[in-house]
Amino acid sequence: MAFVVEKFGGTSVAGPDRIRVVADHVARRRSRGDETVLVVSAMGSETDELLRMASDVAADPPGREVDMLITGGERKACALMAMALSDLGAPAESFTGSQAGFRTDSSHTGAKITQITPGRIIDALARGMVPVVGGSQGVSGDGDVTFF
């Protein structure tokens, strides 16, 4: 039995078929007794598309709002991955960076991690779940969503 943290970038989770391939890989690993935490990026080029939209509506979009916008891509990918895993018999829960315990400074669009408190991830593993965490996101001391 091994403990594994795996990160899958946008190309790996670019659409439903690719999400199912990753979910199948993780479900097989879990069936061998491995505990896995997944970290996923937004699907395909979604982050680039969201940034393009931001620049279409504002000449200089505020960093706080950019972080709110682009972290939505990771949340979507996390939820879909958790659904695919559960469908394959590998119960899973999705977590935002904040829920996973990533605390950051307040530097929007380029935050630095200041603390990690993974209690909810540890609890999910103890309950036999596969935690699926949104990549590159956390929360500042002010409670704002941040992207790193």
Domains identified in the chain, total number: 1
> Length of the chain in residues, anyone?
148
Question: What is the extent of the structural domain holding 66?
Answer: 3-147
For 59-109, the pLDDT digits (tens) are: 999 999 999 999 999 999 999 999 999 999 999 999 999 999 999 999 999
CATH of the domain at 83: 3.40.1160.10
**pLDDT score at 1:** 79
Give the rounded percent of residues in the chain with a pLDDT score beyond 90: 99
For the segment 134-147, the average pLDDT, to the nearest whole number, is 97
Q: How confident is the model at residue 30 (pLDDT cuts 50, 70, 90)?
A: very high
* Tokens 């630095």 belong to residue: 112
Detail the DSSP E strand segments found in the chain. 3-8, 35-40, 92-95, 102-104, 113-116, 130-134, 137-140, 145-147
**pLDDT score at 10:** 96
pTM: 0.94
